[in-house]
């Protein structure tokens, strides 16, 4: 057993999740592929959204996959970094907006 929870080569084995539950695994990948096909949003836009979300959920596999996907599509550094900032802003904002809950409760309970 290697001494790390994450192995880069596991990304390539992702499809293997189907082995232990073919029906669910196949459904997932079918859904996944449909989600990323061009629709109302272009495949390029979806790639940038995926990159931002990858950072928010802090998944190293997804970051690897969508950095490479962006490079292949010709998405530029600046665009990728702005997408990551969108993720960071939402995540930061989501933390901070709960401050209103804290403030309300604090005030309600205080004399």
Partner 1 sequence: MKKSLHARANTLAASEAQLQLLENGIFQSGELPKFSEQLKHSGLAPLKKRQLEVLQINLGYMCNQVCAHCHVDAGPDRKEKMSKIHLERCLELIKVSKVGTVDLTGGAPEMHPDFQWFVREVAALGVQDIIVRSNLTILVANAHYASYPQFFAEQGVHVVSSLPFYKKEKTDRQRGEGVFSNSIEALKALNAVGYGQEGSGLQLDLVYNPAGAFLPAAQEQLEQDFKTSLATNYGIQFNQLFTITNLPISRFLEYLLASENYEDYMTTLVDAFNPAAVQNVMCTNTLSIDYQGYMYDCDFNQMLAIKVQSPVQHIDQFDPTTFAQHPIAISQHCYGCTAGAGSSCQGALVE
The rounded Cα 69 to chain-centroid distance in angstroms is 13
Alpha-carbon distance of 14 to 74, in angstroms, equals 25
What is the closest distance, in whole angstroms, from the C-beta atom of residue 70 to partner 1 in the complex?
A: 10
Q: Does 12 bind partner 1 (CB under 8 A)?
A: yes
Write the interaction track for partner 1 spanning residues 37-76; mark x where CB under 8 A is met and - where it is not: ------xx-----------------------x--xxxx-x
Number of shown-chain residues binding partner 1 (CB under 8 A): 9
63 and 54 Cβ atoms separated by less than 8 Å: yes
Q: Does 30 bind partner 1 (CB under 8 A)?
A: no
**In sequence order, what are the residues at sequence separation of 6 or more whose Cβ sits closer than 8 angstroms to the Cβ of residue 72?**
none
């Amino acid at each position: 057993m290697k001494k790390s929870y994450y192995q880069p080569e596991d990304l390539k084995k992702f499809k293997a999740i189907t082995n232990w539950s073919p029906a669910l695994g196949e459904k997932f990948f079918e859904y996944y592929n449909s989600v990323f096909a061009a629709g109302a949003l272009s495949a390029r836009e979806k790639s940038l959204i995926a990159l931002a979300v990858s950072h928010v959920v802090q998944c190293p596999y997804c970051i690897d996959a969508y950095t490479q996907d962006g490079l292949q599509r010709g998405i530029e550094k600046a665009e990728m970094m702005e997408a990551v900032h969108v993720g960071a802003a939402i995540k930061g904002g989501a933390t901070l907006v709960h401050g209103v809950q804290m403030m309300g409760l604090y005030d309600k309970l205080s004399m």
